[in-house]
Amino acid sequence: MIRIPLILILFIVLPAGIYAQTDSTDYYRKGREDAKVYYTKDSPFWWTAASVITIYGTVIFTPLETFIPPRKKNLNNPDNPNNGLLETNEQYFKGYRKEAHRKKKVKTLSGFIISAVTLSIILSMPPKE
């Protein structure tokens, strides 16, 4: 029987096991981290803010914009150094899209709230005599 000294196990085998994590979790997490920084579409905020003017826009557009994830073409950002992983790595794409969808929801709802409050303040002002 071959005996491996404990010192070899501690310095060679254990660190290798630490770094041998599954790639899917790392790419998923990296995709979410990158989306926090590089997903910068502001259109959900402005479209929702503009739709508050009409009741139909508010009732129809805000829920649609909130629950539909961003389209694949809107995820690309040339400033993202890992932009190529969106096409090649499924786990990175899933993580990036999930975080981008979360950011889109926040922008949509903040556009709705800010414009609804602004519109209600304007409408509640008494007319000048």
Q: Does residue 19 sit within a domain?
A: no
pTM of the predicted model, to two decimals? 0.70
Give the model's confidence band at 129: pLDDT under 50 very low, under 70 low, under 90 confident, else very high: confident
Average pLDDT of the residues of the chain: 78
- Residue 19: the pLDDT is 40
- Please give the residue range of the domain that contains residue 116: 24-124
Number of domains in the chain: 1
Q: How confident is the model over 67-106, as pLDDT tens digits?
A: 888 888 888 888 899 989 999 999 999 999 999 999 989 8
In whole angstroms, what is the distance from residue 93 CA to residue 111 CA? 26
Can you tell me the distance from the alpha carbon of 41 to that of 105, in angstroms, rounded to the nearest whole number?
12
Rounded Cα distance between 117 and 70, Å, is 26
Q: Distance between CA atoms of 37 and 54, rounded to whole angstroms?
A: 33
C-beta separation of 31 from 93 below 8 A: yes
CB of 108 within 8 A of CB of 45?
A: yes
In a domain, 11, yes or no: no
